[in-house]
Structure 1
Amino acid sequence: MERAIELSRKCPPAEGAFSVGAIIVSADGEELAHGYSRETDAHVHAEESALSKLPADDPRLAGATIYSTLEPCSERRSRPLTCTQLILRSPIRRVVIAWREPSLLVADCVGVETLREAGTEVLELLELADMARAVNSHLFGSQ
């Protein structure tokens, strides 16, 4: 997760958008792909960027874990699929996040709940939430 947080620091800060890093790791600990928000265009999300770098039928995805510094989005205006939907369409069944999306931009993100209801294991590393949140200080002003 610390590597994902490092990646999130590469995101160009944007008003109204979180800076997020994501890494996909195989069952044996090999980094398969990584991505960060706004890596390839102004609307790409971290999980979307990482997933796009691997073929959908890559057999290593079945045992892989995706680490994301923020809860995968469950609502989106810039693309037809949310990051939660993209993960569910992949063979990945384990997601690790540092913090849940606050109601700053989306009133009620339900990425964690949606993933869990579909049988995906979701772990929250609350001890790293402050590090992930700090990268997004541009959104919180003096809070």
Structure 2
Amino acid sequence: MSSAPSSGSGDRRWLSLAVELAGQCPPSDTAFSVGCVIVDEHGAEISRGFSRERPDLHAEESALGKVAPDDERLRGATLYSSLEPCTRRRSRPRTCAELILASPIRRVVVAWREPPVFVADAHGVQALEAAGVTVVEIPELAGAAARTNAHILDR
């Protein structure tokens, strides 16, 4: 995984938008607030979502659910998520990492690795990379993503 700013000049801008979207999440003491944006290879937004936009939805699930799975724009697209995609779910049958892998998206940019609050062994980045997805981390935005979840982290 690359932790340096990526080759895409818009990565910080799109990931900042994902972090802002996390602020729209209905509050929860049992789940992180996460934002997600999917952008095509030309820098045009395809879709966006945030956690609990509909009950039990994660941000990546919400954004992916607004696009047809065979939409050609997903080839070459980048998924931006304020938090590492999950590899464990209680409320839904498929994890966010599985949903991404089932799509044509092969590049993911994240701000923050999942802290061991709800899941002790989160490994979304590793699962994506093991399947050939390029994952870029922009740690300068991790603090902003964490602040959206301060109510969970401070308890």
Confirm or deny a common fold (TM above 0.5): yes
> Does 2:69 match 1:56?
yes
Structure 2: distance between partners of 1:78 and 1:108? 18
Percent identical across equivalent pairs? Answer: 55
Q: 5+ unaligned residues in a row in structure 2: which ranges? A: 1-14
- Counterpart CA distance in 2 for 1:61 and 1:3 is 19
Which of 33, 46, 50 aligns to 1:19? It is 33
The offset of 1:12, in angstroms, is 1.1
TM-score (norm 2): 0.90
CA RMSD of aligned residues (A): 0.7
**Partners of 1:22 and 1:35 within 8 A in 2:** yes
Q: Which runs of 4+ in 1 moved over 3 A?
A: none
Corresponding letter in the other structure for 2:33:
S
The code of the aligned residue for 1:20 comes to: V
1:96 to 102, 109, 113: 109
Q: Distance in 1 between matches of 2:26 and 2:148?
A: 11
TM-score, normalising length: structure 1:
0.97
| Partner-residue secondary structure (3-state), 2:69 | coil
Aligned length: 141
* Counterpart for residue 139 of structure 1: 152
* Residue 35, structure 1, aligned to residue 49, structure 2: yes
- Quote how far apart the aligned CAs of 1:71 are: 0.2
2:143 to 115, 125, 130: 130
- Letter matched to residue 106 of structure 2: R
CA contact (8 A) 1:61 1:91 kept: yes
Unaligned 5+ segments in structure 1 are none
